[in-house]
């Protein structure tokens, strides 16, 4: 039997049922709206693909803030850079013995009864990098980059065919095969990856095969080196980051050992003032500055801050009024200091270095100094890698 309700109770029960149904309908509406929103979100394009562009724009703005130039200064520096680049290209970039490759002279060496021109993988790497950075002002830059790379391919390293001899005689048909320069090889891979991105249609070589093979060979060669050999390398923080981006599956822990040692040294003493290997100082300084300037790396920025006094002293020692001259030339050292100097925002010192680089004329066998000089000027003219 059903319970009997009086009219007041029946009304209360009816209102309760209606309220419950209302709540259920409201819940169903909320669930429907949530699902509809989820479907709309799923149908929208993924904006993560745009993040690299946003980050590049952010880095560019910050970079220009660190190196503020008036319109007049910008035009003046662009003109000076163009002149320096064209002079470097005319005077330093030479045709190889095969007539199809290019190299930058980095010295002379006696071979038999004759003196031969010398090229190095280190200078070639920076020359390729400059070619890519000057793409907008040189229509032949892509062909130049490929021809510079061709010279490296034509001179493989001893027992390491995928890598290049650290030094070779480009005008000699059978140049001796020497060990590869690990640091230079990392720059080569980075520079050629940049070239293929800037000019996707270049096809002189099968870059989609060569670059991964070279990258793998570099990683294997690094793993085979003794820890002491790794520790003697220049700081490689910037390049390690780029190599990881290129191939995250490869282990670059061994190459990172020199970074850990470098950071420890920078905390213990003014590294730039006490290290006697000037080549290691300069090339370490270049990557440390690039890591802080372009990657906004806090540890690199902190290391520059700790060693600021030593860095400023080093730059002044290599200034126009100094008699300091080592195997790592003034133009090479000043150019390598540019990215780090931009992070400490000492405009007077930055302007002084610009004027120094414009005025300097590296010796005919100083291919590294001449090439790094142009690289340093590109950064000071607000051009980026």
The whole-angstrom separation of Cα 100 and Cα 170 is: 12
pLDDT at 269 > cutoff 70: no
Dist CA 105 CA 118 (whole Å): 6
Cα 75–Cα 78–Cα 79 angle in degrees, nearest 5: 85
Predicted confidence at residue 15, as pLDDT, reads 63
Q: How confident is the model at residue 325 (pLDDT cuts 50, 70, 90)?
A: low
Q: Summarize the confidence of residues 162-171 as an average pLDDT.
A: 96
- 359 vs 87: CA distance, rounded Å: 13
Predicted confidence band of residue 35 (pLDDT cuts 50, 70, 90): low
Query: For residue 127, what pLDDT band results from cuts at 50, 70 and 90?
Result: very high
128, 297, 135, 106: which is closest to 207 by C-alpha?
Answer: 128
- pLDDT value, residue 51: 33
What whole-number distance in Å separates Cα of residue 350 and Cα of residue 348? 5
Are 340 and 379 in contact by the 8 Å Cβ rule? The answer is no
As given in the structure block, the two tokens for residue 134 are 């000057």
Predicted pLDDT at 70: 83
In the structure, what pLDDT confidence band is assigned to residue 293 with cuts at 50, 70 and 90?
very high
Strand order in the sheet with 167-168: 107-111, 114-120, 167-168
List the domains of the chain with CATH numbers: 70-202 (1.50.10.10), 225-385 (1.50.10.10)
CA angle 242, 243, 244 (to 5 degrees): 90
Is pTM beyond 0.75 here? yes
- pLDDT above 70 covers a percentage of the chain that reads 79
Q: What is the pLDDT of residues 129-157, one digit of tens each?
A: 999 999 999 999 999 999 999 999 999 99
* Exposure class string for 80-92: b at 16+ Cβ within 10 A, else e: bbeebbeebbeeb
What is the per-residue pLDDT across 58-93, written as a single tens digit (0 to 9) for each? 344 356 677 778 888 889 999 999 999 999 999 999
Q: Please state, in angstroms and rounded to a whole number, the distance separating the CA atoms of residues 126 and 159.
A: 24
pLDDT band with cut points at 50, 70 and 90 for residue 17: low
The yes-or-no verdict on residue 281 having pLDDT over 70 is: yes
Residue whose structure tokens are 């000057």 = 134
Mean pLDDT over 234-252 rounds to 93
């Amino acid at each position: 039997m059903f319970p009997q309700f009086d009219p007041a109770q029946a009304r209360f029960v009816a209102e309760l049922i209606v309220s419950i149904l209302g709540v259920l309908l409201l819940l169903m509406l909320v669930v429907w709206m949530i699902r509809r929103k989820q479907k709309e979100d799923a149908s929208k394009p993924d904006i993560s693909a745009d993040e690299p562009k946003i980050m590049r724009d952010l880095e560019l703005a910050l970079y220009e803030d660190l190196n503020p130039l008036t319109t007049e200064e910008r035009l003046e520096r662009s003109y000076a850079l163009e002149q320096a680049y064209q002079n470097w290209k005319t005077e330093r970039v030479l045709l190889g013995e095969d007539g199809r490759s290019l190299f930058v002279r980095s010295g002379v060496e006696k071979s038999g009864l004759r003196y031969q021109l010398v090229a190095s993988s280190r200078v070639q790497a920076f020359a390729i990098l400059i070619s890519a950075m000057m793409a907008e002002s040189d229509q032949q830059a892509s062909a130049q980059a490929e021809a510079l790379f061709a010279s490296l391919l034509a001179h493989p390293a001893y027992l390491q065919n995928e890598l290049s001899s650290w030094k070779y005689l480009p005008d000699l048909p059978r140049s001796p095969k020497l060990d590869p320069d690990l640091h230079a090889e990392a720059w080569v891979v980075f520079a050629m990856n940049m070239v293929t991105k800037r000019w996707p249609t270049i096809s002189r070589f099968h870059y989609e095969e060569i670059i991964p093979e070279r990258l793998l060979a570099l990683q294997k060669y690094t793993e085979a080196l003794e820890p002491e050999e790794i520790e003697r390398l220049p700081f490689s923080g910037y390049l390690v980051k780029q190599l990881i981006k290129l191939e995250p599956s490869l282990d670059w822990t061994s190459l990172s050992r020199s970074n850990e040692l470098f950071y420890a040294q920078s905390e213990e003493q003014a590294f730039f003032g006490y290290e006697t290997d000037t080549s290691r100082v300069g090339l370490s300084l270049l990557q440390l500055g690039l890591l802080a300037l372009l990657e906004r790396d806090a540890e690199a920025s902190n290391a520059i801050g700790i060693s600021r006094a030593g860095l400023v002293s080093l730059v002044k020692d290599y200034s126009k009024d100094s008699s300091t001259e080592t195997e790592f030339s003034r133009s090479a050292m000043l150019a390598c200091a540019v990215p780090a100097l931009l992070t400490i925002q000492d405009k007077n010192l930055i302007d002084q270095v610009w004027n120094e680089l414009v005025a300097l004329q590296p010796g005919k066998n100083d291919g590294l100094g001449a090439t790094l000089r142009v690289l340093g000027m590109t950064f000071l003219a607000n051009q980026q890698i």
